Chain A
Amino acid sequence: MSLINICYFPLVFICWVWHVVRKFYWFCRQSCCQCGCCCSSREQQELAASGNEAISVRIISSSNDPTNDRTPFLENGQERIEIVREADENDAIHDEEGPAPNTSDSLDRRGWSSVSNRTTLTASVHNNLMNGRMSSSSHNLSTRHSGSNQNLNHMPTNAYGFPIQPQNTIHGSSSNNHSSDASAPQRIANMLSRPFRSNPLKRTKSVSKMEKENNQSTLNRIDPTSTPTSISSVNNYPPMPPTRRHMSTPAREGSLRACRSHESLLSSTASTHMIDLNEDARLHPVHPSVLDVPNCFRVANTYYACRTPLERAKWMENLRKTMNPRRDVQRRTENGLQIWILEAKGLPAKRKYYCELCLDKTLYARTSAKPRTDNVFWGEHFDFAMLPKIDEVCVSVYRESDSKKKKDRATLIGIVTITIDQLTSRNPVERWYTVNTTNDTSSRIASALGAKSSSQDQSALRIKARWQSVEVLPMKAYDELVQMLSYSYLPLCEQLEPILAVRVKEDFATSLVRVMYKQKLAKEFLCDLIMKEVEQLDNDHLMFRGNSLATKAMESFMKLVADEYLQSTLGDFIRTALNCEDSCEVDPQKLGNVSNSALEKNRAILMRFVEVAWTKILNNVHQFPSDLREVFSVLRCRLDAQNRGALADTLISSSIFLRFLCPAILSPSLFNIVSEYPSGTTARNLTLIAKTLQNLANFTKFGGKEHYMEFMNEFVEREWQRMKDFLMRISSGGPGVERQVESVVDVGKELSLIQTYLEEAWTPLLQEKNANNKSLCDVKAILTDLAESKRRPDSAFAQHPPIVHQPSSDYENSPQPITLPRHENVPAYRSTPPAGQATIMGRSMSRPATHLMTSDDYVLSSAFHTPRQQGARLIDETGTSSSRTSDKTTSSGEIRDDTDSDAELRDERSRALRNRKRLPRTDASPSSSQQASSGYFSNNASSYSNSSSSSPVERMAALSIANPVFGPGPSNYTIPAEPSQAYGNQKRPSPPPYDPEAHTYHYQPVYAVPPDCEVSPRTTLSSTSSANRLSLPRTNPRASRNSTLLRPTVVDVPDDWERNNEYWHDRNIDQHRQQQDIIEKQKKEIERLIRENEELKRSMTSNYVTVVQGKAESKRSDSGASEDSYDSLSSLDRPTRKSIVVMPQ
């Protein structure tokens, strides 16, 4: 590790010891709990108020603590704290006392940090958790209050005033913030775990007592069981026993207290434990029900809690890549299990029941406890990924313990064991499984059921499950598939649409959208697909209402990018609604005989609910994910361009409301808002709320269908305008907040899935049908290739081992031989030195040829590919129109014109953009000499107007990320274990924010780099992120592929790609609109001319030819107004030209 780390330790250690000592002192002075109690109410308020803010615990200590004696330390810490403060955008601080926000903030924290002992820190929960220690699980209390457990990493450091690198808290590069406190072996593993163990706030009596008091009122779902499991030796943590008490068992109190001793406090300092993080280390997300803490994951028997699901995903992704840096060049198997525990029948109506779900004896989740009504219905859905290979799924049914009897424990009713091969199927398997009751309970049940145990009365569980074991090939094996997908998604989807069953459609669309997302093509893909569907529909009312690939793709895209938005918008609201006991049933028929006032009351409640939900949606519009916003705005533009602008609102509202927000309200469990399936009253409440919102989004009034809802009309009408505004706001590009949230996608897995789906769907018949379709004729070949490489043993891939100096983990960045020889101005590939060759050889595995220089295969293959590419490009125009004429029964010329013009629009626009781009590009080449070959980089950078990284350092860093040629050299990839050497000296912004598309090889070492404290976090953040952004031209997968090989001057950006992508990404709305207008005008003009032409043709007068020519010429000068548009109109031009030619005959 590094010097910095070593410097840290003494300081940090001293601080730490000091802190501990002080704490004890403080304890002695203050009789334990009073203080805690007195501040707790205040604290609670704070906590409750702070809601979702990043720093949710703001305890304003009444400064009765001697803070002055710690000044030296604090001064040390204060700076960092401010850094933290600055770096965290979300840090909305409820600072009641401070006059000037910034200073008071740090002061406040200072005070706070010294008093922190008696206050419950949110983060400490996580820390303990992370350590596998729940001893202070009482801290959960505060966590609970704060709404969502957020402050994973901030808080402890704040509390101590330790210097921290805030960016890692945000971006999940795990190591640095924890370098603070130990002299333990310097391994990543330790870095991960150390800080959590050092939290001196644990197990203090005051805390516990305080909690206890608070507990009684507010918190009844702390999970007790994790407490005793790992007190100091985390490594010995056993797989969780399958039979455990339910979380709300009162008996947990005892188990909690058992470990609250001061010895443990001491022992924690002495013992250093080590987690061996190797490839075998188990890493998987932990269902919230296991620990009763959301967003946890587990590495090698240690649990970590994150603030948001996204954060967790990023942590895990980074950890995975760190643990196995070769993941994407290896063959691997991804296991996943989706399981719905639906209902049970044949159980006696007695108390509540819950299920525990074990996979191979390890507890993975439990359901909530539900009473028996007709049956016992849970309806809960679990989705586990990253599973090891398991043999069986075991669901055990428990009867909840009697809450009145303290000693009562949950009773095991029976077990359902399902072997995994029963669940290995394409679609989820749903059936009733007989519950194998234990002898004891079976007789009890039998007797409870009246001693009648016919087969029908046997208790059974209805479970739906699917086990997916996906074999993922090395990334490069999928190159062709990816290429095919990204070039010809539209014809492909068109072909598949009628074939796929609904469920397959959903799976396929999900995987495709994810791949496209990683390819930076999601917007194009979605818009093309949706527009296609819109064009094909003749009934506007039916638009986007069915279950098609387009709607499914849109849905999964929203789930992918808008999850955080959803959580922040409606999460709290839905949870509140779920906890609300009041019914807001407004249907008199369902209410039965109730007074008018009761009805009125219910109406008021419903109204309030709806208003709150709607207000939340409106107020949170700034958080709307920019990806989605762009998609909507492009859709709007394209609809406008087709003169169907009126449809835009419908389309957008049926995307965001019908497909996303309303389903989330109705079934929050599907969106990970809660895991419990709403039942009874709450379900009805949610339904009514969703109905009202959907009506609002439909711009329709109640009445007709359900008269009892008519009282809502006033509200609905009142809000229409705001709904319109909202839809407009989320669909207008504009300079919104550039909050590029990168969702984590395992592309390899998705690609492998797509391969499977295609293999199923792509019948020989279909292949035959598309034999002449340039874009799709290769599908079969690609699939065969993939199947072939799947059959091949692993060694086939191992042949080209770590030479892979290409950042191969992401195919996006891997070199693409195909694209290279396209431009004349590119230094010929042949001149590349051996390194390049090696890379190419490495990549050529799927093809027989290995050598580039030898005039055969590779050159041949690339030569082979070039026309295909063009063909693929063509289908954008030709493919769409032709295919549509074929399958559209009522295809009218008018609509076809629409598409044509649309394609042209795009064409035209992109051309304009390309022109714009030319300037910087020529600029860039001279600069390449002075700036160590930044040719490639600056070229890409130039396409971003906001390229803010001007400092050479940042540039350098960016460069080294972008292009290994400029980095420390290939050697560092081979030694992932000791990465910091390579990077240590480099002045490189320390942990780069997680960037999933970035090459693993570059990033992976960085995790271990000690924090470079001199870089202020703000700049670090921005520079790294900009570096990432710039280094990876998100618009152009192809271009980035080249990056590894390219010489400075090489700028190889295939025309069509640039065109497509620039159109989408650099799009300036205004200009876009203007252009559209122009084009629109010109188009009309041309159409008019064409029409005239036709008329003239028909009349066939003698002087007719000259007239036509004249017209045509005039038209040409018209369209020649701008060079671009002229070009783009060529296709429209064609008919006229043709007519000119034809006429003279």
Chain B
Amino acid sequence: MGGRGPGNQQNILRLVVVGGGGVGKSALTIQFIQRYFVQDYDPTIEDSYTKQCFVDEDLCKLEILDTAGQEEFSTMREQYLRTGSGFLIVFAVTDRNSFEEVKKLHELICRIKDRDDFPIILVGNKADLENERHVARHEAEELAHRLSMPYLECSAKLRRNVDEAFFDIVRLVRKFQHDERTPLHDDSILRKHADDSSPIKLKKKKNCRIQ
């Protein structure tokens, strides 16, 4: 089952950063990975980064996918949403619209994963621009609570809460995978097994049975 095989999953975590256009997904990611703040804003199509770090004294290898915020690229979402093991939904506290998109993204992820809950964290970026704030903190918290995900306010510019956001999601993913492992593990083993053996023989057998 792809990257979630028991072998990989302790090491490589695929984190996907999603959110509206211009909310600072790339700034956040770059601040986390390369520790500097990009002033310029150039729209991202899709960038991927890798980083190894210790979270709670466990080494983990992160593969972080920084995505496009523009709706125009939404078809690509299908691809990366399916492969991601943890998501950061980012909005800008200065941009009401981006906040409105959060719910939709959350819904999308849950549907694609076909689960009610999944490791997702809500990140309100640009928290340093307090005077331009359009989304009150309590609003965001309320929404996060309703969708049962944690909420963090960050500032990529000031590097406030950046690492925390990523580490939190790593913890969430770990917890989730730990919880899921038993059933998922069984499943995948079974399925893998079935896949390997099924091709033609099974079919023939079955035909016989039916006739």
| Residues of chain B with a CB closer than 8 A to A669's CB | 75
> Shortest CB–CB separation between residue A351 and chain B, in angstroms?
9
Pair A374/B2 contact, Cβ less than 8 Å: yes
Pair B43/A694 contact, Cβ less than 8 Å: yes
| Residues of chain B with a CB closer than 8 A to A45's CB | none
In the bound complex, CA of A552 to CA of B71 (Å):
9
Pair A667/B73 contact, Cβ less than 8 Å: yes
Check if B57 is an interface residue, CB within 8 A of chain A.
Answer: no
In the bound complex, CA of A269 to CA of B190 (Å):
63
Contact mask A633-668 → B, CB, 8 Å, 1/0?
Answer: 000000000000000000000100011101100110
Pair A379/B75 contact, Cβ less than 8 Å: yes
Check if A614 is an interface residue, CB within 8 A of chain B.
Answer: no
Check if B20 is an interface residue, CB within 8 A of chain A.
Answer: yes
- Looking at chain B's contact residues, the main secondary structure is helix
Residue from the list A345, A431, A503 in contact with B111, Cβ < 8 A: A431
Check if A1138 is an interface residue, CB within 8 A of chain B.
Answer: no
Residue of A nearest to B132 (CB): A889
| Residues of chain B with a CB closer than 8 A to A698's CB | 42-43
Pair B70/A659 contact, Cβ less than 8 Å: yes
In the bound complex, CA of A694 to CA of B45 (Å):
8
Contact mask A794-823 → B, CB, 8 Å, 1/0?
Answer: 000000000000000000000000000000
> Shortest CB–CB separation between residue B25 and chain A, in angstroms?
11
- State whether A545 and B41 are in contact (beta carbons under 8 Å apart), knowing that A374-B82, A379-B75 are contacts in the complex: yes
Check if A440 is an interface residue, CB within 8 A of chain B.
Answer: yes
Residue of B nearest to A670 (CB): B75
In the bound complex, CA of A654 to CA of B45 (Å):
12
> Shortest CB–CB separation between residue B18 and chain A, in angstroms?
13
Of residues 693 through 713 on chain A, the ones whose CB sits less than 8 Å from some CB of chain B are 694-695, 698, 700, 704-706
Check if B48 is an interface residue, CB within 8 A of chain A.
Answer: yes
Interface centre among B47, B73, B210, by most A CB within 10 Å?
B73
In the bound complex, CA of A440 to CA of B203 (Å):
11
Q: How many residue pairs between the two chains, A and B, have CB atoms under 8 Å in the bound complex? A: 154
Pair B20/A342 contact, Cβ less than 8 Å: no
Residue of B nearest to A350 (CB): B199
Check if A619 is an interface residue, CB within 8 A of chain B.
Answer: no
- State whether A546 and B95 are in contact (beta carbons under 8 Å apart), knowing that A448-B194, A587-B48 are contacts in the complex: yes
Pair A502/B100 contact, Cβ less than 8 Å: yes
- State whether A687 and B46 are in contact (beta carbons under 8 Å apart), knowing that A349-B198, A447-B202, A667-B76 are contacts in the complex: yes
In the bound complex, CA of A541 to CA of B66 (Å):
18
Pair A547/B78 contact, Cβ less than 8 Å: no
In the bound complex, CA of A349 to CA of B41 (Å):
43
Pair B104/A450 contact, Cβ less than 8 Å: no
In the bound complex, CA of A687 to CA of B209 (Å):
48
Residue of B nearest to A449 (CB): B194
| Residues of chain B with a CB closer than 8 A to A828's CB | none
Residue from the list B26, B76, B95, B193 in contact with A705, Cβ < 8 A: B26
| Residues of chain B with a CB closer than 8 A to A539's CB | 41
In this complex, how many residues of chain A approach chain B with their Cβ under 8 Å: the count is: 66
In the bound complex, CA of A381 to CA of B76 (Å):
13
| Residues of chain A with a CB closer than 8 A to B39's CB | 541
Interface centre among A444, A590, A889, by most B CB within 10 Å?
A444
| Residues of chain A with a CB closer than 8 A to B30's CB | 704-705
Pair B43/A690 contact, Cβ less than 8 Å: no
Pair B210/A547 contact, Cβ less than 8 Å: no
Residue from the list A503, A683, A705 in contact with B79, Cβ < 8 A: A683
Residue from the list B42, B46, B50, B210 in contact with A443, Cβ < 8 A: B210
Of residues 1 through 42 on chain B, the ones whose CB sits less than 8 Å from some CB of chain A are 1-2, 20-22, 26, 30, 34, 38-42
> Shortest CB–CB separation between residue B32 and chain A, in angstroms?
12
Check if A68 is an interface residue, CB within 8 A of chain B.
Answer: no
> Shortest CB–CB separation between residue A666 and chain B, in angstroms?
6
Check if B138 is an interface residue, CB within 8 A of chain A.
Answer: no
Pair B96/A498 contact, Cβ less than 8 Å: yes
Of residues 105 through 128 on chain B, the ones whose CB sits less than 8 Å from some CB of chain A are 108, 111-112, 114
Pair A449/B191 contact, Cβ less than 8 Å: yes
Residue of B nearest to A373 (CB): B2
| Residues of chain B with a CB closer than 8 A to A440's CB | 210
Interface centre among A541, A555, A660, by most B CB within 10 Å?
A541
Residue from the list A379, A502, A503, A658 in contact with B78, Cβ < 8 A: A379
In the bound complex, CA of A456 to CA of B180 (Å):
14
| Residues of chain B with a CB closer than 8 A to A687's CB | 45-46, 76
Pair A700/B75 contact, Cβ less than 8 Å: no
| Residues of chain B with a CB closer than 8 A to A503's CB | 104
Check if B146 is an interface residue, CB within 8 A of chain A.
Answer: no
Of residues 48 through 103 on chain B, the ones whose CB sits less than 8 Å from some CB of chain A are 48-50, 66, 69-73, 75-76, 78-79, 82, 95-98, 100-101
Pair B195/A348 contact, Cβ less than 8 Å: yes
Residue from the list B22, B96, B111 in contact with A542, Cβ < 8 A: B22
Pair B72/A658 contact, Cβ less than 8 Å: yes
Check if A143 is an interface residue, CB within 8 A of chain B.
Answer: no
| Residues of chain A with a CB closer than 8 A to B26's CB | 705
Pair A545/B70 contact, Cβ less than 8 Å: yes
Pair A654/B195 contact, Cβ less than 8 Å: no
Check if A532 is an interface residue, CB within 8 A of chain B.
Answer: no
> Shortest CB–CB separation between residue B110 and chain A, in angstroms?
11
Residue from the list B75, B193, B198 in contact with A350, Cβ < 8 A: B198
| Residues of chain A with a CB closer than 8 A to B193's CB | 450
> Shortest CB–CB separation between residue A109 and chain B, in angstroms?
44
Check if A1007 is an interface residue, CB within 8 A of chain B.
Answer: no
Pair A666/B21 contact, Cβ less than 8 Å: no
| Residues of chain B with a CB closer than 8 A to A662's CB | 45, 72-73
In the bound complex, CA of A766 to CA of B75 (Å):
34
Check if A1012 is an interface residue, CB within 8 A of chain B.
Answer: no
Pair A506/B190 contact, Cβ less than 8 Å: no
> Shortest CB–CB separation between residue A987 and chain B, in angstroms?
50
In the bound complex, CA of A698 to CA of B34 (Å):
21
> Shortest CB–CB separation between residue A168 and chain B, in angstroms?
37
| Residues of chain A with a CB closer than 8 A to B209's CB | 443
Residue from the list A343, A547, A705, A889 in contact with B97, Cβ < 8 A: A547
Check if A471 is an interface residue, CB within 8 A of chain B.
Answer: no
In the bound complex, CA of A374 to CA of B112 (Å):
13
Check if B187 is an interface residue, CB within 8 A of chain A.
Answer: yes
Residue from the list A443, A462, A589 in contact with B206, Cβ < 8 A: A443
Pair A377/B43 contact, Cβ less than 8 Å: no
Check if A113 is an interface residue, CB within 8 A of chain B.
Answer: no
In the bound complex, CA of A430 to CA of B110 (Å):
11
In the bound complex, CA of A350 to CA of B203 (Å):
11
In the bound complex, CA of A502 to CA of B108 (Å):
14
Interface centre among B38, B187, B202, by most A CB within 10 Å?
B202
Contact mask B137-160 → A, CB, 8 Å, 1/0?
Answer: 000000000000000000000000
In the bound complex, CA of A456 to CA of B26 (Å):
37
| Residues of chain B with a CB closer than 8 A to A379's CB | 75, 78-79
Residue from the list B1, B40, B111 in contact with A541, Cβ < 8 A: B40
Check if A548 is an interface residue, CB within 8 A of chain B.
Answer: yes
In the bound complex, CA of A377 to CA of B100 (Å):
28
In the bound complex, CA of A658 to CA of B72 (Å):
8
Check if A608 is an interface residue, CB within 8 A of chain B.
Answer: no
Q: 30 A-B contacts, Cβ less than 8 Å apart?
A: A345-B114, A375-B82, A432-B114, A443-B210, A444-B203, A444-B206, A449-B191, A449-B194, A462-B114, A501-B104, A502-B97, A541-B41, A542-B22, A545-B21, A545-B69, A547-B69, A547-B101, A548-B97, A654-B43, A658-B43, A663-B72, A666-B45, A669-B75, A683-B76, A687-B45, A690-B45, A695-B42, A704-B34, A704-B38, A889-B132
Interface set of A (CB-CB < 8 Å, partner B): 342-343, 345, 348-350, 373-375, 377, 379, 381, 430-432, 440, 443-444, 447-450, 452, 456, 462, 498, 501-503, 506, 539, 541-542, 545-548, 551-552, 555, 587, 589-590, 654, 658-660, 662-663, 666-667, 669-670, 677, 683, 687, 690-691, 694-695, 698, 700, 704-706, 889
Nearest 9 A-B pairs (CB), nearest first?
A: A541-B41, A667-B75, A545-B22, A663-B72, A450-B194, A448-B198, A698-B42, A349-B195, A545-B21
Besides A348-B195, A690-B45, 4 new A-B residue pairs in contact (Cβ under 8 A), listed by A number? A381-B75, A501-B100, A662-B45, A667-B73
